[in-house]
Chains A and B, each alone.
Chain A
Amino acid sequence: MSDAIYTRLRALLGTTGVDRDVNGVPRATPESGDALSLVCRLAHEEGWKIRVEGRGTWLPSDAPADLAVSTRALEQIVSVSPADLVATVQSGTPLEALRRRLADYGMWLAVDPPGRPERSIGSVVATATAGPLRHGYGPVRDHVLGCTVATGDGRLVNAGGRVVKNVAGYDLTKLQVGGFGGFGIIAEVHLRLRALPRADVTLLARGTRDALTSAARELVSGHLLPGALELLSPALAAEADWMLAARFVGTDAAVQADVRRLGSLGELKWEPLPAERTAAFWSVAARGSLGGPITLRLGVLGDGVDEAIDLLAHDLDEGLVSAGAGLGMIRWTGDAPLERLRALRRAAATREIPMTLERAPWPIRRALGHFGAYREGVGQIVGRLRDTFDPGQCLSVALEGVE
């Protein structure tokens, strides 16, 4: 069967567009949205299961499937319009390549997701994995103006647009951002850019978790406007104590004003990070999220951070934790048996804290689901949306778990 699929895919995409993964599963690497949709349509017609892959650096490529579809050949930066602060990029484009190209234009994408710099932009969008800059620049959805998606049955949908403000039609883009590929495979995204910041300063404070979280609350209620205010666990920071990292990004005047005021607020001793170490510091922190096979996020508000970390420490461990100390999104990475994870989701749900599984081996994803503990009626809507965008259930994506 696998040989027949391989042959059919080669007939469709040519010899360079198809190979096999380490287990011999045929893998299609289409170079255009049209080719991607043709692969999906073929799979739909034949009833083949598709594993969705980006560049293979975030979610493990282990979902059971008849064929894999990777976006790694969709790596063109289609256009950058500095005057309009918009870029159109194919979904398999590595973040680092995009960052460099944008910098050439004096542009910047204010998204700093966990993982490796060569992670694909499509994977960041599909999993909505925002990093510390979420504090100042919003979640991933705020940076995506539109996208082109191949549905499970091979339709090509062009959601949103290329302008920064747009309310024409329903906002289908929102469904794809953080949809984990359950509603289709993203081929291209239109991104909202910012001017490359003139100043980018990071300061660090160390101390007990309590001291840092209460200081962070104080900072946020003052008029400070950090781009990021991230609490890092000792294991993630590779330090003896917890660390609070404040990043100020913007014009020289705004950054200087914030840094001056930071020094005058509270008891913490802030140590400025030398400019040449700033990028490396955040990159190491981002890569820390790969320090275990499982990554999950908890949605809490600023004053719920302590309680949620206690919950993590109780049900799992306090290992690799990165928390938005101002707005509260908490990311945990480590290893844990399924039952502990289930218990955590239940315990979190009773506290009204949504838990999203961002990354895990397939058996965990399948059992636990990226999402769970849906509110009444939500599961039905999500199920019908999946039937709409993947009527043949070809996409091997575990949005919800199985009990």
Chain B
Amino acid sequence: MKSSLLEALTKIVGQQWVRHRRAELATYAMDGLPTHESVPGLVVMPGTPREVREIVRLLHLIQVPFVARGAGTGLSGGALADPDAVLITLTRMNQILRIDPIQRRAVVQPGVVNARLSEAVLPLGLQYVPDPSSQAACTVGGNVAENAGGPHCLKYGVTTNHIVSLEVVLPDGSVTRLGSTQGEAWGPDLVGLFVGSEGMFGIATEITVRLERVPESVRTMLADFATVRAASESVSSIIAAGIVPAALEMMDRACVAAVEASIYAAGYPTDAAAVLLVELDGQADAVEAEAITVHDILVDRGARQVRSASTAGDRARLWQGRKKAFGAMGRIAPDLAVQDAVVPRSTLPAIMDQIEGIRRQYGLTISNVFHAGDGNLHPNISFDRRDPDVAARVRSACREIMAACVAVGGSITGEHGVGSDKIDYMPWIFDAETLGAMRAVRRVFDPTELANPGKVVPVHACREWCAVKSARTPTLRSGQA
């Protein structure tokens, strides 16, 4: 990239916060997904909202595209920048600005690590609920961009349900505040529109989140089943009984085997076809009573064994395998293609059969770990991308799995976002008109499409929308007033 740009950026943030050497830039060539790679032209690391504004204003002035990035743990190739673009890394902006325990709000900078926020509010009896698997590393800003989820989103909702207000730098460098601390907007729900826009509407520089009380009582149960179908039916029965567990997580045999073979071994039965984790929370008496109901359902649906834990230590042990499942899978082979799809819950057993068929057809190792309560699947393929034949089979298998999920009325992503990885699948679930609407909305925020270009919306598949104001303003024709 031009040395004048390097100079101008250096002037804004200081020399130590700009990266331009090839070896330095290579660090930023990937996010959490090993199948996509792109080396950015420059990396700049602002430390304040003012620096973000100045950087964006400069880039807008000279029409250079940019990509905002948090910790780079994303799983859709969404935070990758092309060689003609500047990567704006926000991890230096990691201050928790305010915590209001009465109103249950926290105001944070985008680079605050998800788990750190929860740790900071825990002594006040509060928690920040969205808990993606990468929570020890991922940032709240990245969570906002991707509308991140996690196991506890079944009961409490995903990121969008926990963000009440945002200060954003728009792609022209102007600053605006969306939403309010109260959660009631000053106008249409622009916070809702911004969350999950994958860095294409601007950069959030200050985020006000809703905090929840830590529940009085929590009970975690672990059941294992001889078939995935039986485990899935338990899930449906629990929900039909009117119980909304805090989490309902399932792991298949391959996933359990990976966990138990790793240092994260949690004592899960390796001969089970499926292991189900159920977490109940709420008032002590209620949790106690609901646990009995859930236990009965699990046994009734064929659980071979049900373990139960209510102390923090015992619960952590039951969770350990699930929380570390991705890490354990990562040990099977050099690379892990983490997939993310959603199906209507009732189709879970059928879709699991199809995934097994695809696995056999392509001769791959697929481990399934998923949020069974909301039908959010993660069929993960362990492979070695250095073998081009294997890499090609992985791509084909991913595509077929996605097609199967879409065919039963599902979605191509439940929490990881579209990014680069799933952009080709977008026309599978959205027609040209709707894709056109998305692009038109993107242009409302970013008329010259500088922010994270080339992601989410496949431009070639959009019907053209013209957002130019019509010269003619209709007036009443029939005289009715």
Contact = CB atoms under 8 A, between A and B. Distances in A.
B441 A172 contact: yes
A223 B282 CA distance: 8
B477 A47 contact: yes
Contact of A175 (B147, B161, B189): B189
B183 A139 contact: yes
Contacts of B240: 82-83, 106, 195
Interface string B402-443: 000000011111111110001000100111011111101111
Interface string B439-481: 0111111000000000011000000011111101111111111
B11 to A, nearest CB: 26
Q: Chain B contact residues: over half helix, strand or loop, or mixed? A: loop
A257 B215 CA distance: 14
A172 B242 contact: no
A291 to B, nearest CB: 22
Interface string A169-199: 1111111011100110000000000111110
B399 to A, nearest CB: 16
Contacts of A159: 434, 437
Contacts of B445: 381
Nearest to B168: A377
Given A47-B477, A254-B283, A165 B375 contact: yes
B289 A253 contact: yes
A162 B344 contact: yes
Contacts of A182: 188
A272 interface: no
Interface string A108-127: 00000000000000000000
Interface residues of B, number: 108
A352 interface: yes
Nearest to A302: B103
Given A25-B478, A84-B345, A170-B193, A142 B186 contact: no
A174 B189 contact: yes
A185 B275 CA distance: 45
A388 B444 contact: yes
A195 B241 contact: yes
Interface string B178-214: 1011111111111111011100110000000000010
B376 interface: yes
Q: Chain A contact residues: over half helix, strand or loop, or mixed? A: loop
B477 A377 contact: no
Interface stretch (A96-104, A227-235, A263-271, A392-400): A392-400
Given A177-B189, A371-B186, A387 B374 contact: no
A242 B122 CA distance: 36
A66 interface: yes
B157 A384 contact: no
Contact of A388 (B153, B243, B374, B467): B467
A179 B434 contact: no
A49 B282 CA distance: 52
A251 B475 CA distance: 55
B174 interface: yes
Contacts of A377: 170, 174-177
Contacts of A166: 342, 411, 413-414
A354 B441 CA distance: 24
A35 interface: no
B438 A172 contact: yes
A391 B186 contact: no
A315 interface: no
B63 interface: no
B160 interface: yes
Contact of B426 (A168, A251, A392): A168
A114 to B, nearest CB: 15
Contacts of B184: 297-299, 329, 354, 356
A388 B441 contact: yes
Contacts of A371: 186-188
A258 B283 CA distance: 8
6 contacts: A2-B478, A2-B479, A166-B413, A182-B188, A197-B242, A387-B469
